[in-house]
Structure 1
Amino acid sequence: MSLLQPRFPGERALVTGIAVDALGSGMYIPFSLVFFHHVTGLPLPLIGLVLTVTGLVGIAAVPLVGIAVDRFGARTMQISLYVVRGLSFACFPLAQALPVFAIVALLTSVGTRAFRPAQDARIAELAQGTDRDRLQAVSRSLSNAGLGAGTLMASVIIATAGDFGYTVTAWLNAASFLAAGYLATCTPAAPPRPPAVPRTRGGGYRLVAKDRPFLGLVCANLLIAFGFSALTSFLPLYVTDWLDMPEGLVGSAFLLNTVLCAGLGVAVAALTRRRFATRPRAASAGAALISLAFLALAALGTVRSQSVPLLLAGLLGAVLVMTVGELVYSPSSGAMSQFAAPERLRGRYLATYQLSWSLAYALSPMVFTVLLTVDGRLPCLLVAITAALGSLLLVRVERHLPSEVVAFVPTPDTGSKTTAAGK
């Protein structure tokens, strides 16, 4: 376990902060729409519009955060964004009028969208070698475990405290961000940077735009990320409307995915590092499994058996394959983005990579719903095709990437790590 056997200075505080963050987010995320509807009294379509607009603004802020990470450091930005997120959630109960609601939602969106590149840059500062792959797996496992545990806790609080329970969960989420921010202050400062290269007119994001192998990774991730977003934005509608299964069975698919990601993420990532020669091949195999899973869902939608147990077995089988693909793909793809980013432009590179995730999650609801109106199987086929194309692109781009990005090179074992590991 990473928490019990830290391998580099600051790992215990870093991982504990991720766990606290995940637990708080899990308490609130499933109830956000209900909370705003309860507090503001605004109609749900208007609330959805505000959240969509602020979400797009949050995406637009990601490149600015990349610049800030490069200028002020990942540790400073990670702590600052924890504080912004904590304060924004603490102000949720004040969002009783539309202008205040819009401001609070905007701060929340910017803090949430911008946080991931700052955290990935911080991981890259502290960890080396395959420790980065391992931390990607740990982070994803904790996020899924926190979502499940937090949702359960929030359900108990709301059932016990009634409407005031929504306010309590918002404040607890705010407290979790502030606590995670404090833990981030307990991690060591970043190692000294090498002497800066003189700034040129082609610096910054222009250099990112000229890095074709890295842009290949970004494009591949954008194509594959539609599969991740489909689990929440498409699968429930497909199961209930096209497969005509009872709504109560949708939760079984989410439960399977959450439990497997939380319980097996680290173990599958370790097995992946032993079984695959390179990160691109591992990520490509994960994407291929995601493609296969959605082909299976399309086939299930073609058969459309009248037997609910048979449909449920097919659904859970497809979700199982999808989840294994997710567990194989995510750690390697995340680590590749970190290794491919030059240290002095790490913030900009990781912000660009994060945009591929954000765009997939922003576009998928609209794309999937439009396709669903034509044929329920079309979204499945679209995801199967995009994931397969992403898998092929990863194989193609491998030969153009530096060896440190491609190879699973073990973390150097130094004596200083042992003495400082408990920090």
Structure 2
Amino acid sequence: MSFLRPHFPGERALITGIAIDATGSGLYVPFSLVFFHHVTGLSLPVIGLVLTITGLIAIGAVPVAGVAVDRFGARRVQLFLYVLRGASFACFPLAAHLPTFAVLALLTAIGTRAFPAVLQARIAELVEGTDRDRMQALQRSLGNAGLGAGTLIASILIAVGGDTGYVIAAFVNAGSFFLAALLALRTPPSPVVSAKARAENPGSYRLVGRDRPFLTLVFANFLVALGYTSLTVLLPIYSTDWLHMPEGLTGTAFLVNTVICATLGVPVGALVRTRFSTRSRAAAGGAAMFVVAFLGQAALGTFRPEHVSLALAGVIACVLVMTAGELVHSPASGALSQAAAPPEMRGRYMAAFQLSWTLAYALTPSLLTSLLTVDGRLPWLLLAAAALLGGVLMMRVERSLPDDVVRYPRPAPSKPVTAA
């Protein structure tokens, strides 16, 4: 299969590091509150408050990471964040006191929030053309597969080791970041930017703020990204409180989404590049599927089937449509942002784009749950309207961006290279 062959030096090291990083994250993400409770011994309310505050503070690290990428190169910043995250998790079992835990939680949150923008800049440094689209799909597939594998490993560790299993998971997660850093060292260095070039084009976020087409792209992605949070934030509560489904069945939808994204991400991404002429149209097509899925959930909430099997079938059907939209939208939108970013300011542009995801995940928990208390259909209607507007903006911004940015490049025939 051609999509498994390396297309650039260091590709295998890069994607293996991404998979290991995701697996390590899967060890604690699904159990974050309980995980830290067992590792540190602090109470759950205290841990929840600390994680919320540090997460909000860490949002400020995203634009700082963008400046660092433009100054030092994405590879150096990537290595720094891997080591920072690894060291933080290695020290968590020592955090028996609140101040120590707060510091470690803040460092971990900074690394977690800033890393996606740095990774996007790193991928853009290494690949061009359709390989960017391919890497976007591959990255998302590996992320879902790694998250699922990490969750399974953590479940086994906890089942076998009890409370000790959480501590082992913390050390294993720390090791995964250090191993990913070693693999990142095997990728080519970032392009060197001379002092003269930096002096001629120092760059600033004011220049990003003046790029209206790119800001439109960021806002459109923010609107669609609100819908990505529905699986973890909205659907579990909606299914149990509004549709009165058993709690044990709510995880089925998340499992379906994870498995499909992990197994079909790359093939669907390749199919999308043959069916859509531009990345913006593909992203808008994915947003349209979101609209259909969310309106379907609202309709299901109107009829509210009495039989659990019918309710579950309706929820799964909507999740399948949303998953298809995710597979179409995410790679196209990510590659579009990479292509639209000037190379000398790629770090700042990727940081600005990443903020659309960060803010969406920060705002939706309180927003969607508040609407749900009024009427179970309201949050789905809001998400559908946001996805519709996001898709329209994706189509409109196509006219303002260069043709080589929005159009899928024709894949040039090339021989596979030996991985570094």
TM-score normalised over the length of structure 1: 0.96
Aligned positions of 1:343-422 closer than 5 A: 343-413=343-413, 418=416, 420-422=417-419
Q: Give the structure 2 partner of residue 299 of structure 1.
A: 299
1:262-298 deviation digits (Å, cap 9, x = unpaired): 0100011000000000000000000110111010000
Asked if 1:31 is matched to 2:31, the reply is: yes
The one-letter code matched in structure 1 to 2:319 is: V
Q: Give the structure 1 partner of residue 56 of structure 2.
A: 56
Asked if 1:114 is matched to 2:111, the reply is: no
The one-letter code matched in structure 2 to 1:124 is: A
Q: Give the structure 2 partner of residue 252 of structure 1.
A: 252
| Aligned-residue offset at 1:64 | 0.4
CA contact (8 A) 2:40 2:94 kept: no
The one-letter code matched in structure 1 to 2:211 is: D
| Aligned-residue offset at 1:148 | 1.0
Counterparts of 1:44 and 1:410, CA distance in 2: 53
Counterparts of 2:10 and 2:84, CA distance in 1: 22
1:240-259 deviation digits (Å, cap 9, x = unpaired): 10111000110110111011
Aligned positions of 1:144-183 closer than 5 A: 144-183=144-183
Counterparts of 1:390 and 1:414, CA distance in 2: 36
CA contact (8 A) 1:3 1:16 kept: no
Asked if 1:76 is matched to 2:76, the reply is: yes
| Aligned-residue offset at 1:42 | 3.0
| Aligned-residue offset at 1:41 | 3.5
Counterparts of 1:143 and 1:190, CA distance in 2: 23
The one-letter code matched in structure 1 to 2:197 is: A
Counterparts of 1:204 and 1:404, CA distance in 2: 24
Aligned positions of 1:212-361 closer than 5 A: 212-361=212-361
What is the root-mean-square deviation in Å for CA atoms of aligned residues?
1.5
| Aligned-residue offset at 1:24 | 1.1
| Aligned-residue offset at 1:373 | 1.3
Counterparts of 1:411 and 1:196, CA distance in 2: 31
CA contact (8 A) 2:90 2:174 kept: yes
Q: Give the structure 1 partner of residue 197 of structure 2.
A: 196
SS at match of 1:196: helix
| Aligned-residue offset at 1:43 | 2.9
CA contact (8 A) 2:73 2:191 kept: no
The one-letter code matched in structure 1 to 2:290 is: I
| Aligned-residue offset at 1:49 | 1.2
For structure 2, the 5+ residue unaligned runs are none
Q: Give the structure 2 partner of residue 184 of structure 1.
A: 184
Counterparts of 1:38 and 1:189, CA distance in 2: 40
SS at match of 2:28: helix
Q: 1:126 to 1:148 in 2, by over 3 A?
A: same
The one-letter code matched in structure 2 to 1:266 is: V
Counterparts of 2:40 and 2:174, CA distance in 1: 19
The one-letter code matched in structure 1 to 2:419 is: G
Q: Give the structure 1 partner of residue 67 of structure 2.
A: 67
SS at match of 1:91: helix
The one-letter code matched in structure 2 to 1:407 is: R
Q: 1:178 to 1:410 in 2, by over 3 A?
A: farther
Runs of 4+ residues deviating >6 angstroms: none
Q: Is the deviation greater in 40-49 or in 291-300? A: 40-49
For structure 1, the 5+ residue unaligned runs are none
| Aligned-residue offset at 1:196 | 1.7
| Aligned-residue offset at 1:39 | 3.5
CA contact (8 A) 2:242 2:301 kept: yes
SS at match of 1:306: coil
Q: 1:197 to 1:38 in 2, by over 3 A?
A: closer
CA contact (8 A) 1:75 1:184 kept: yes
1:97-134 deviation digits (Å, cap 9, x = unpaired): 11011001001000000001111111001111010011
The one-letter code matched in structure 2 to 1:44 is: L
SS at match of 1:187: coil
| Aligned-residue offset at 1:38 | 2.2
TM-score normalised over the length of structure 2: 0.97
Q: Give the structure 2 partner of residue 211 of structure 1.
A: 211
SS at match of 2:59: helix
Counterparts of 1:412 and 1:124, CA distance in 2: 18
Counterparts of 1:197 and 1:143, CA distance in 2: 34
CA contact (8 A) 1:291 1:384 kept: yes
CA contact (8 A) 1:129 1:412 kept: no
Counterparts of 1:226 and 1:43, CA distance in 2: 30
SS at match of 1:330: helix
CA contact (8 A) 1:287 1:388 kept: yes
Counterparts of 1:273 and 1:4, CA distance in 2: 17
CA contact (8 A) 2:54 2:109 kept: yes
Counterparts of 1:149 and 1:220, CA distance in 2: 32
CA contact (8 A) 2:88 2:104 kept: yes
Counterparts of 1:337 and 1:362, CA distance in 2: 21
| Aligned-residue offset at 1:153 | 1.0
Counterparts of 1:176 and 1:164, CA distance in 2: 18
Counterparts of 1:57 and 1:128, CA distance in 2: 34
| Aligned-residue offset at 1:46 | 2.1
Counterparts of 1:40 and 1:328, CA distance in 2: 41
1:29-48 deviation digits (Å, cap 9, x = unpaired): 11221022223333322211
Counterparts of 2:348 and 2:201, CA distance in 1: 16
Counterparts of 2:125 and 2:302, CA distance in 1: 49
Q: Give the structure 2 partner of residue 129 of structure 1.
A: 129
Counterparts of 2:411 and 2:53, CA distance in 1: 42
Q: Is the deviation greater in 54-63 or in 3-12? A: 3-12
Counterparts of 1:53 and 1:336, CA distance in 2: 32
Counterparts of 1:48 and 1:421, CA distance in 2: 47
Q: Sequence identity of aligned pairs in percent? A: 62
